[in-house]
Amino acid sequence: MLTTMISLKNAKIIGRGEDRIVYQDPVTHNRCIKISRVLVEQEFNIRSIRDWLFWLSRGCNIQYFDYNFIDVLYVRFLQKQKKSRPFDHLPKCYGFVDTDMGKGVAWELICNSDGSPCISLRDCYLQPEILGVHQKKLLRQGLSDFFKWQLKHHIMLREMGLINTLVRQINNSKICLYHIDAIGCVDIIPLALHADWFADLRIRSKIHSFKKKKLAWLYSSTGKK
């Protein structure tokens, strides 16, 4: 259900990707709003064979090419699962909102416990000097908890990347990783949503690839795999 119109005309842009622009909510500052760059129902054209197969597998519903739609759909899917703590490493989703930039999705804006902005894994990679020995140890432990959470709750992440994984400082002895973008399953046949054993295989494969391709700089520097 849409809420009262929110004006984003003068709102601060805090993120920009190929598919969406992220604004800080001008009214509720601890939230952000993601707006799709393309109005899928009006502007998206199916071209590739993969897209045709995906469209057919989703009941010919063009909305499945809108990542905002997929995100909210997956959040609702997790809520129905009634598992213990499936959102420990995801921001809270407040659903669709109506803005002067079109329909968007409101999310919790993840910050450190003291209210300061979080750094991302990408920041850690590009600025290795910000991580001392103690911080690297905490980061490895935070990543271990993050990966265990995915496997325990069979959390499907569309894309695991350095830029969309935030490092939240809880205190001097603990950090928590948050995945802030691209959730859900976009496999042509979404078997991972219905078979835990298959979800486990897919997640383990993604984690292995993520560690090998995106986190080698961290594990190689500590001598741990």
AA identity, residue 65: F
DSSP for 12-27 reads: PEEEE-SSEEEEE-SS
Closest C-alpha among 122, 182, 116 to residue 155: 182
Mean pLDDT by 10 residues, the chain (225 residues): 78 92 94 92 88 94 95 94 85 95 95 94 94 93 97 94 95 94 94 95 96 90 50
Three-state SS for 200? helix
Is the separation of the CB atoms in 160 and 203 below 8 Å? Answer: no
Three-state SS for 183? strand
Cβ neighbours of 164 (radius 10 Å): 20
- What is the 3-class SS of 115-173, one letter each residue? CCECEEHHHHHHCHHHCCHHHHHHHHHHHHHHHHHHHHHCCCECCCCCCCEEEEEEECC
Beta bridge partners of 179: 165
Predicted local distance difference test score (pLDDT) of residue 221? 61
Report how far residue 208's alpha carbon sits from residue 215's, in angstroms, rounded to the nearest whole number. 10
Question: Does the domain made of 1-109 have the CATH classification 1.10.10?
Answer: no
Predicted local distance difference test score (pLDDT) of residue 45? 87
Predicted local distance difference test score (pLDDT) of residue 222? 52
Cβ neighbours of 155 (radius 10 Å): 22
Report how far residue 89's alpha carbon sits from residue 27's, in angstroms, rounded to the nearest whole number. 25
Report how far residue 144's alpha carbon sits from residue 147's, in angstroms, rounded to the nearest whole number. 5
Report how far residue 50's alpha carbon sits from residue 218's, in angstroms, rounded to the nearest whole number. 35
